[in-house]
Structure 1
Amino acid sequence: MAKHVREVMTAEPVTVSELTPLPEVAKLMREKDIGDVFITEEDHVRGLVTDRDLVIRALAEDRDPSATPVREVCSTDLVTVSPQDDIDQAVRLMREHALRRLPVVEDDHLVGALSIGDLAIERDRRSALADISRAEPNK
C-alpha cells in the first residue's frame, strides 16, 4: 500500500491562466473528462475551479460565461500537500477541510493533484467510489 502522496497523485494536472474565459475551461473539462482545473501563473497554483463552481458561481449568478474570466469563480484559499507528505496526512486535511481534491505543491510549484478518487482506488479498490473513479468516461 502506498505511503506517500507522490505514489497516488495525478501528475501534470490540467491548468489554465486566471484570465481564461469560462467556456474554454468547460470545454477543457469535457475534452479531458475531468471535473476540476487548476489556475496557475508560471507553475504557481493560484486557484482551483470545479464543474460545480461553473454552475453555482457563474450560471446560477447569471454571469455572462464568455465575459467572465475563471479567476472570478475559482477558489483561491487552497489547502495543499507536498509529494513527500504521508497519505494519512492528506486524508486528515481532506476530512478537516471537507475537500475532494488537493493541489500537490513542491517548491511552490504545482506538480500534481490528489483526489478522493485517487485515495479510494489506493485504499479500498472494491469501494463504489473506486469503481466510479476507474470507470471509462460516459460522454
Structure 2
Amino acid sequence: MTGAPVTVGPHTSVAEVARIMRDRGLGSVLVTDGDRLRGLVTDRDLMVRSVSRGGDPEDITVAGACSDDPVTVAPDDDLDHAVRLMREHAVRRVPVVEDGRPVGVVSLGDVAMERDPESALGDIGVARPAT
C-alpha cells in the first residue's frame, strides 16, 4: 500500500490536478469531500472524461472526471481480497479506507512488488516517471 495518499477537493480544476500529478509523479489522486473519500481520478480519467470533451481545463472541476463511489478495501483486508476486487471491477488502484477516510492506495504495482519484486511489473511499479 502507498500510504499518505494525495487528495484534492471536488472543486479543484482538472488543470491543477494534472499539475499535481506531474509534479509528484503520480498516476492518480483521491477526491475527498472534507475528509471523506468521494472518488478516485487517474491521468487517463482527466483526458477521457474532461479534456477530450473540450472546454478550459482551468474551469472544469475534477468532480466530473473522477470515478464516483470507488471500490475500496480496509487497512486490515488481506492482499488477496484487494486483488480479487481489482479483477472483479477491472481497476488498477483501490483506495484503502478506514472509517470513511482514505489512508492509502493499493495499486497493481504494489501487488506485483509484494508477490514478485523481481518481475517486470514490479520494476515498473516502483520506477519514478519521467517529468
Q: TM-score range by the shorter chain?
A: over 0.9
Instruction: Report the CA distance between 1:124 and its aligned residue.
Output: 1.1
Other-structure match for 1:120: 112
Contact 1:47 1:76 in 2 (8 A): yes
Instruction: Report the CA distance between 1:138 and its aligned residue.
Output: 1.6
Q: In 2, distance between residues paired with 1:63 and 1:48?
A: 21
Instruction: Report the CA distance between 1:63 and its aligned residue.
Output: 2.9
Q: In 1, distance between residues paired with 2:28 and 2:128?
A: 17
1:74 aligns with 2:66: yes
User: What is the DSSP-based 3-state SS (H/G/I as helix, E as strand, rest coil) of the residue aligned with 2:17?
Assistant: helix
Contact 2:25 2:128 in 1 (8 A): no
How many equivalent residue pairs? 131
CA root-mean-square deviation: 1.0
Contact 1:15 1:38 in 2 (8 A): yes
Q: Which amino acid letter does the alignment assign opposite residue 44 of structure 1? A: R
Q: In 2, distance between residues paired with 1:42 and 1:18?
A: 10
Other-structure match for 1:53: 45
Instruction: Report the CA distance between 1:42 and its aligned residue.
Output: 2.3
User: What is the DSSP-based 3-state SS (H/G/I as helix, E as strand, rest coil) of the residue aligned with 1:90?
Assistant: helix
Contact 2:108 2:125 in 1 (8 A): no
User: What is the DSSP-based 3-state SS (H/G/I as helix, E as strand, rest coil) of the residue aligned with 1:89?
Assistant: helix
Q: Percent identity?
A: 54
Q: Which amino acid letter does the alignment assign opposite residue 18 of structure 2? A: A
Which stretches in structure 1 are left out of the alignment for 5+ residues? 1-8
Contact 1:58 1:64 in 2 (8 A): no
Contact 1:11 1:113 in 2 (8 A): yes
Q: Which amino acid letter does the alignment assign opposite residue 55 of structure 1? A: M
Contact 2:112 2:122 in 1 (8 A): yes
Other-structure match for 1:87: 79
